[in-house]
């Protein structure tokens, strides 16, 4: 079974949907929703979009009239420097809402980092709901806080850690937001679904350095390289230790995991027993 899944990943290449939620397709094209506390944010199928990788979602200056809910995939917030360098400031994950409050200033853009399914929500309506519904506010500010935590980590590791430590930490964190197939022996196979260039630009380093560091990690027996996009993590604890995220791993991943689980449950049980507010 694990073999079969691996196979499908290999066949589809980098841009894949989450493994383990075949039910995902059940709601595709019908309705996309997200429970926020007791409330439910949704838009109907007309406002769902499947985007290929590197598709622009929010462009710098222009204030979009829509807010976006990520159903699947990963978005990146990036900014280009005049020297041609690009820095990815943040990644956004399924269940998160982006584009509310003009959070993205001139020069910064939000794009899909892989094939993603997005759902547009009317901004006005969302604002109204935010003001009325306490549980929505709670969930939203929790999201915000998660994003800030990630940003804190990135800032900290860019400023205080070396590329090798950052990469180790990222690999460890990836187990929470990329396909990670646990094996019987406790190790697991990580399927990197981001382009290496994106990872390099996120971690403030280069693809060459990543390649070197990954090889060094393999040589020291912490990971095993299956191919350029699949690593078997032999020693996750030492990755987290070397990456200096011992104490904050859970805190940084719990939100993303929870939201993903919610989306999966939603797909599985259907939406008959949930309240649904719609922005259209």
Partner DNA sequence: CGCTTAATTGACACCAGTCAATACCCGTGG
Partner DNA sequence: CCACGGGTATTGACTGGTGTCAATTAAGCG
Kindly list the residues in this chain that would bind DNA in the complex (CB under 7 A): 10, 13, 85, 162-164, 195-197, 204-212, 214-215, 225, 227-228
Q: Which residue among 196, 248, 257, 278 contacts a copy of itself (CB under 8 A)? A: 248
State how far the Cα of 248 lies from the Cα of 42, in Å rounded to an integer. 32
State how far the Cα of 47 lies from the Cα of 212, in Å rounded to an integer. 43
13 lies in the site for a copy of itself, by CB under 8 A:
no
State how far the Cα of 65 lies from the Cα of 127, in Å rounded to an integer. 11
144 lies in the site for a copy of itself, by CB under 8 A:
yes
CB of 209 to DNA, least distance (A): 3
Nearer to DNA, 145 or 155 (CB): 155
Q: Measured in Å, how far apart are the chain's first and last C-alpha atoms?
A: 41
103 lies in the site for a copy of itself, by CB under 8 A:
yes
CB of 172 to DNA, least distance (A): 18
87 lies in the site for a copy of itself, by CB under 8 A:
yes
Both tokens assigned to 161 = 């850690």
Kindly list the strands in the beta sheet with 230-233, ordered across the sheet, starting from the edge strand earlier in the chain: 180-182, 188-191, 230-233, 223-227
Q: Locate tokens 């350095």: which residue?
A: 209
Kindly list the strands in the beta sheet with 31-36, ordered across the sheet, starting from the edge strand earlier in the chain: 31-36, 39-44, 277-278
Positions that interact with a copy of itself (CB under 8 A)? 79, 81-83, 85-87, 89-90, 101, 103, 105-108, 131, 134, 141, 144-145, 148-149, 151-152, 154-156, 158-161, 201, 203-204, 244, 247-248, 251
């Amino acid at each position: 079974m694990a073999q079969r899944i691996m196979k499908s990943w290999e066949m589809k290449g980098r841009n894949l949907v989450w493994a383990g939620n075949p039910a995902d397709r059940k709601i595709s094209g019908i309705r996309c929703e997200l429970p926020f506390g007791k409330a439910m944010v949704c838009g109907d199928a007309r406002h769902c979009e499947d985007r290929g990788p590197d598709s622009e979602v929010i462009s710098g200056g222009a204030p979009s009239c829509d807010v976006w809910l990520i159903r699947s995939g990963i978005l990146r917030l990036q900014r280009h420097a005049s020297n041609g360098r690009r820095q990815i400031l943040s990644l956004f994950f399924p269940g998160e809402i982006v584009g509310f409050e003009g959070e993205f200033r001139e020069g910064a853009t939000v794009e899909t980092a892989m094939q993603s399914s997005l759902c547009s929500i009317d901004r006005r309506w969302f604002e109204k709901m935010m003001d009325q519904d306490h549980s929505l506010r709670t969930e939203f500010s929790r999201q915000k806080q998660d994003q800030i935590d990630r940003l804190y980590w990135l800032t900290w590791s860019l400023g205080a850690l070396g590329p090798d430590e950052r990469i180790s930490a990222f690999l460890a964190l990836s187990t929470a937001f990329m396909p990670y197939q646990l094996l019987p022996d406790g190790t697991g196979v990580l399927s990197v679904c981001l382009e290496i260039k994106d990872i390099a630009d996120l971690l403030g380093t280069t693809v060459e350095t990543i390649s070197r560091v990954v090889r060094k990690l393999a040589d020291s027996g912490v990971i095993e390289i299956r191919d350029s996009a699949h690593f078997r993590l032999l020693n996750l604890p030492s990755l987290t230790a070397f990456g200096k995220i011992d104490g904050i791993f859970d805190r940084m991943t719990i939100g993303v995991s929870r939201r993903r689980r919610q989306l999966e449950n939603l797909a599985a049980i259907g939406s008959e027993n949930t309240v649904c507010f719609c922005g259209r």
